[in-house]
Structure 1
Amino acid sequence: MDKRRLLAGLALIGVLPAMAVGWSAYLVLTTWHHLSATRSALAEAQGDLSSALSAARSSTGRAGPPETGKPLLNSLPDFVIALTQAREHAAAARRFTGGADWDLLSRLPLLGEEAVAVRGIARAADELTAALDELRSVVAVLRTPVAGGMPGLTGLLAKLADAGLADSVQRARLRLARARAELIVVPGDTGTGTIDVARATALKEIDRLRGWVDKLAQIVVLPSLFGREEPTRYFLAFQTNAEARGTGGLVGAFGILSAGGGKFRIRHLAANTGLENATTSVVDHGPAFLSRYGPSATQLLSNSNLSPHFPYAARTWTRLWERQTGSRLDGAIATDPVGLARLLALVGAVTLPGGEQVTAANVVDLTERAAYARYQDPVERKRFLVTIARSVGAALTERLPGPAALPVFFQLVEEGRLRVWSRHERDQARLAVTALGGALPTGRGPYAGLVVNNSGGTKLDYYLDRELHYDLGVREGDWRRSRIRLRLTNGVPEGDLPKYVTYRMDRPHDQPAIGTNRLWISLYAPVGASLQAARIDGKPTSMILETERLHPVYSKLVELGPRRSVSIELDLREPYSAAKPYVPVQPLVRPQRTTVTCAGRSCP
């Protein structure tokens, strides 16, 4: 009897490894099946949504509203079903990889790295599908009919306001961030091609979806700003980026935008001289701000937006208005002539009282170059610019484009040519995490922000070209070395230019060569970074070090002659981060040429 038990025991011991291998194979195959099914279901959902969006664009035309009583998205037959299937399969994959059995697999010498990678992919897939699940309510709203009598963007704002979708979208953004964080720590070179390709593909899709959800976050915050029945009022700044400022350009004109009951109006339009300077600061942005920009930045409209952090400028504008009029505003908005050109491409040409046409093709040149040549008297020129602002503003508020205009809205936000701030805490909290809010971020990660402020009072930044190259070095423990190269070129043309354009206000009795510009150049480095060396045109130099919203800021005042260039090179030591490099671009007239590399090669 004992002999038979011994033999049976030995046989069982011999079978156990085979059973373990079989169970491991079952776990791996089942998990991979669920992940593959998740991918297929997501592809089906994406295809259905893309078809519906294309149909919506076709039905609305270029800028026209959808037919009253019709849904914004007519057909999404498979989206919800496919999303449900993807959610179920992703959750199953996470369960299979979350137990003790999979943990044992991850410790094996031959399979460990692959098992860890698959577990990370499963967790990321679960977070990804959970993020999309949060957005079902958005799709449901878009499938309901547009309210009667409220077509176009007005109807869209009303629908989104009723639904209250901002919180769902924010939860989706957080889940996508967690999904990316799960994948970043997954090894990218396990040696198993299928796993490595799956990780790379998932990262690419998550980044694409994050961009889409970030745009959605910009939309769902709008109803609380402009979609209310009770009126809201905003300081509307028209920036002139021929004279650079941190948020774009000098405020050349302004008005008060009122919104309520589905209608928009612009009132109190005036040149920048219509807002009186204060003798004391109207707002306190903290000691670091005061040290960097001085008291005039919270007293004078002309210096109010030296910082690239839009909420600083917006708070100053609204307080200057309140000081002058006693009227409290709900927030502030900023745009510029390039932004107006994008919008005019949608609504069509605008005719001024004298018969002159303002179009998408000429509004930038007209407001930032030609007006200075046409009007030698600054008062007449400012009056002309206010006339343009009034006529274009009226056209935009009267010809509200439909949802087909949303791509232009997103373009303006991405380029920094549309910014919004709200004094209401809840609304501002939602704005602050979107590009629409224009906040200088305080998070850690690769960052290179070039900001130019005109320090001579000229209008020569119309001709300014900028280049930025950010090269991230290899990881050295918790750090990496990086190099940022800046190149700025004063492309002012030869020939006569109006004196108002070239006159140097900082040197009234000692004017330099005509066309010479004076620039305050600042590089916003990653949080926690330190400068190792700096060079101007290849020669060692020192930089002014200041801090703004945790970022070290390295600055230099530069005289830039006509048709001359200057190169600045900064060697940094920055904390290592697997986050994507972020290089914001200041919205000036000419686009900035930006390249980002990792150790001299394209970043993954």
Structure 2
Amino acid sequence: MGSGIENARKTRQRTKPARPKAMIRRRRLVVGSWIVGTLLVIGGSAAWLGYKATIIKNELSAATGVLPDLKKAIGNNDTNAASKASESLLNHTSAAREAASDPLWKAASALPWFGQNLQAASEVAMTADDVARLAAVPLVNAFKSLDWKTLTPSASGMNLEPLREATPRIQAAAHAVRESTQRLNNIDTENLLPQISGPLTEARVELAGLSKDLNSASSAATLAPAMLGAESPRRYLLLMQNNAESRASGGIPGALAVLSVDKGSLKLDSQTSATALGAFVPPIAIDAEQQSIYTARVGRFMQDVNLTPDFATTARTAQAMWEKSTGERLDGVLSLDPVALSFILDATGPVKVTDPIVQQVGRDLPKELTGKNVVQTLLSDAYAKIEEPKLQDVYFAGAAKEIFGALSSGKSDPKKLMEALTKGVEERRILLWSASEAEQATIGQYSLGGMVSGAAISPAQFGIYFNDGTGAKMDFWMKRTVQVVKDCTRDGYREVTVRVTSTNTAPADAATSLPAYVTGEGVFGVPAGTVQTNVVAYGPVQANIDTVVKDGVKIPFAAQRHSQRGVGTSTIRLAPGESTTLDFNFGHIVQHTHPEIVVTPTVQSVKDVLLAPQVTPCE
């Protein structure tokens, strides 16, 4: 039976018809065609995607190239050029977005690994277009609606209504950029190609900077109308910080005045001196931490309200002192120093001293104050030429009144004035505090608020502040530098050393050649011509100050804390020609970002005080 079955199978195999060769060739041709077609589709798709990628790259590059023209047009107050630049920017970003919205590009974005690169490129293109469409164009339109000359102080005030009307557009632009920044920050760059991750990182940096600027502009546009008296007149205490006698936020607030603002019109009145207010007994209360570091003198004398670098504390205390002395509760506190006044004079042009009394008091001083001579005049020559301290106060008050008169005359160059004020704020020579909690909450987010804690403070901020211990005006002769000389990581914590070098450049015979009011004549125990300074160093939150080294020798120092920041204080004393170096060694730093140094603004330019880091490795 088995052989029968086998024979039947062999018979069927012999009788099965043979497959025609033509059919085999046809099937091979079909399979080949499918393979070739598939390869063509893949190749064509790749070529198409490459074409779209080229468009995205070129259009975004072109958009980047437009930005300098846009910035230049805005800087030159050229609204027509700004409009053309914004239109060009939008054309380029729209083209990039359109290319990234191609159906094939979107489909390929879903592919494993390679797709996430296309997705990231799409996000960059769409973000760029959103920024152009929702921020750049509306901002240029808002810019066109503003007459910057009417926003400059003048005798008739400022037209603040256009700024109020533009505020919603500025706020919307700031919101759009914040959202765009967050969208790019959410992209995981770990597995992206360098061609994608590089531009993405650059876009993040650019957007972060833009977002910061727009947030500042939005806050300024929101606060400015009300604070400039658009709704009702405002009155601010003006502290003129005198850098010839250092205080942590700049200098002793010797001259005081009330700045009245009504619909943008400025007027200086109620001028007096800190000395005239006398001592406050009991002192105005401040928090326990600051009282421990700076003593109750902060609340006892107006001259000492800014021994602390925290301007909010200074301003609240000064406001309380003014109210206790005069019965008037002011709307806020504004602080400037003579260097800031020099910036303003660069915008207003020279100011003539016209008041007969001030002319007589300052008969041996320049008849015209300029950006070049005002610092030397107010911080040095006035003491040499005017012996009586009360008459010095008269001259300072008169000079301030003349400068504010020029500022409110409407003669200032708007662009130069904006640059002057911006520079003053950046160097912390202009500080502001508002008695309104809502306004102060916004001001406190920026360096204008002069805070040592809160949203304005970088996680890696270090502070170096100077408080005069001479009781005189010798700080005009002091030259200082501040520099990071060590920045490394050990056992998971960062270690940073900040070096502070101080030099007394006064003449060798300063004790006799300089006025007694400048040297102090040793009244407070410091020899005439010698300068004594309390140097106060702040570390980041949670950091400690481990040691202080003076000229290579470890020395004792006062270690305290303020708002969770480590604080160290050391006192130096320098005779004419002497120099010394203090190294503040910070440890237990949990932040791993580049150190940011804040210093007391002095007679020197801040850029001359803050030196570039020269870092040595950990031992």
Assess same fold via TM > 0.5. Answer: yes
Within the alignment, does 1:163 sit opposite 2:166 as a pair?
yes
The separation in 1 between residues aligned to 2:176 and 2:294, in whole angstroms, is 38
Given candidates 585, 590, 596, the residue that maps to 1:571 is: 585
The separation in 1 between residues aligned to 2:546 and 2:125, in whole angstroms, is 41
Deviation at 1:35, TM superposition (A): 5.1
Deviation at 1:228, TM superposition (A): 0.7
Deviation at 1:561, TM superposition (A): 2.3
Q: Which one is further off, 469-478 or 428-437?
A: 469-478
Q: Which one is further off, 422-431 or 201-210?
A: 201-210
**Aligned residue runs from structure 1 range 1-400, under 5 A:** 30=52, 33-34=55-56, 36-54=58-76, 56=78, 73-85=79-91, 88=94, 105-106=112-113, 130=130, 133-134=134-135, 136-144=137-145, 146=147, 150=150, 152-153=152-153, 155=158, 157-165=160-168, 167-168=171-172, 171=175, 174-175=178-179, 178=182, 186=189, 192=194, 194-195=195-196, 198=199, 201-202=202-203, 205-206=206-207, 209=210, 212-213=213-214, 216-217=217-218, 219-220=220-221, 221-282=223-284, 284=286, 286-347=287-348, 348-354=350-356, 355=359, 356-399=367-410
**CA deviation profile, 1:480-508 (whole Å, cap 9, x unmatched):** 33322221112222331111111267x64
1:14/1:548 CA distance change after superposition, 3 Å? farther
* Structure 1 letter corresponding to 2:609: R
The separation in 2 between residues aligned to 1:279 and 1:575, in whole angstroms, is 40
**CA deviation profile, 1:148-175 (whole Å, cap 9, x unmatched):** x946455564421233246446536745
The separation in 2 between residues aligned to 1:586 and 1:105, in whole angstroms, is 55
The separation in 1 between residues aligned to 2:152 and 2:324, in whole angstroms, is 37
Within the alignment, does 1:422 sit opposite 2:444 as a pair?
no
CA contact (8 A) 2:543 2:590 kept: no
CA contact (8 A) 2:159 2:263 kept: no
Given candidates 497, 513, 519, the residue that maps to 2:533 is: 519
1:413 match: 425
Q: Which one is further off, 171-180 or 260-269?
A: 171-180
CA contact (8 A) 1:218 1:434 kept: no
The separation in 2 between residues aligned to 1:387 and 1:349, in whole angstroms, is 12
CA contact (8 A) 2:459 2:541 kept: yes
1:434 match: 446
The separation in 1 between residues aligned to 2:557 and 2:110, in whole angstroms, is 52
The separation in 2 between residues aligned to 1:89 and 1:576, in whole angstroms, is 45
CA contact (8 A) 1:233 1:329 kept: yes
CA contact (8 A) 1:534 1:570 kept: yes
* Structure 2 letter corresponding to 1:364: V
Matched residue SS, 1:554: strand
Q: Which sections of structure 2, spanning at least 5 residues, go unmatched?
A: 1-25, 360-366
The separation in 1 between residues aligned to 2:614 and 2:55, in whole angstroms, is 35
Deviation at 1:391, TM superposition (A): 2.2
1:63 match: none
Within the alignment, does 1:457 sit opposite 2:471 as a pair?
yes
2:560 match: 546
* Structure 1 letter corresponding to 2:69: G
CA contact (8 A) 2:229 2:261 kept: yes
Within the alignment, does 1:498 sit opposite 2:515 as a pair?
yes
Q: Which one is further off, 466-475 or 378-387?
A: 466-475
Deviation at 1:139, TM superposition (A): 2.3
Matched residue SS, 1:243: strand
* Structure 2 letter corresponding to 1:548: H
The separation in 2 between residues aligned to 1:82 and 1:244, in whole angstroms, is 51
Matched residue SS, 2:76: helix
CA contact (8 A) 2:174 2:211 kept: no
The separation in 1 between residues aligned to 2:36 and 2:279, in whole angstroms, is 89
CA contact (8 A) 2:504 2:574 kept: yes
Q: Which sections of structure 1, spanning at least 5 residues, go unmatched?
A: 57-72
Deviation at 1:80, TM superposition (A): 4.0
Higher relative contact order (CA 8 A, sep 6+): 1
CA contact (8 A) 1:478 1:575 kept: no
**CA deviation profile, 1:533-565 (whole Å, cap 9, x unmatched):** 431111123332222233222221222222211
The separation in 2 between residues aligned to 1:105 and 1:573, in whole angstroms, is 45
CA contact (8 A) 2:167 2:218 kept: no
The separation in 1 between residues aligned to 2:105 and 2:554, in whole angstroms, is 55
CA contact (8 A) 1:432 1:439 kept: yes
Q: Which one is further off, 172-181 or 258-267?
A: 172-181
1:157/1:93 CA distance change after superposition, 3 Å? farther
Deviation at 1:40, TM superposition (A): 2.2
* Structure 1 letter corresponding to 2:60: T
2:462 match: 448
Deviation at 1:241, TM superposition (A): 0.7
CA contact (8 A) 2:255 2:273 kept: yes
* Structure 1 letter corresponding to 2:70: D
Matched residue SS, 2:82: coil
State how many pairs are aligned. Answer: 568
Matched residue SS, 2:342: helix
Matched residue SS, 1:398: coil
Deviation at 1:593, TM superposition (A): 2.8
Deviation at 1:130, TM superposition (A): 4.6
Q: Which one is further off, 80-89 or 299-308?
A: 80-89
CA contact (8 A) 1:131 1:175 kept: no
1:180/1:452 CA distance change after superposition, 3 Å? farther
CA contact (8 A) 2:484 2:615 kept: no
* Structure 2 letter corresponding to 1:274: A
1:580/1:122 CA distance change after superposition, 3 Å? farther
CA contact (8 A) 2:185 2:204 kept: no
CA contact (8 A) 1:463 1:590 kept: no
The separation in 1 between residues aligned to 2:534 and 2:308, in whole angstroms, is 12
CA contact (8 A) 1:321 1:327 kept: yes
**CA deviation profile, 1:37-74 (whole Å, cap 9, x unmatched):** 23422432542342353254xxxxxxxxxxxxxxxx34
Within the alignment, does 1:593 sit opposite 2:616 as a pair?
no
Deviation at 1:216, TM superposition (A): 3.1
1:475/1:367 CA distance change after superposition, 3 Å? same
The separation in 2 between residues aligned to 1:227 and 1:90, in whole angstroms, is 45
* Structure 2 letter corresponding to 1:395: A
Matched residue SS, 1:461: helix
1:427/1:297 CA distance change after superposition, 3 Å? same
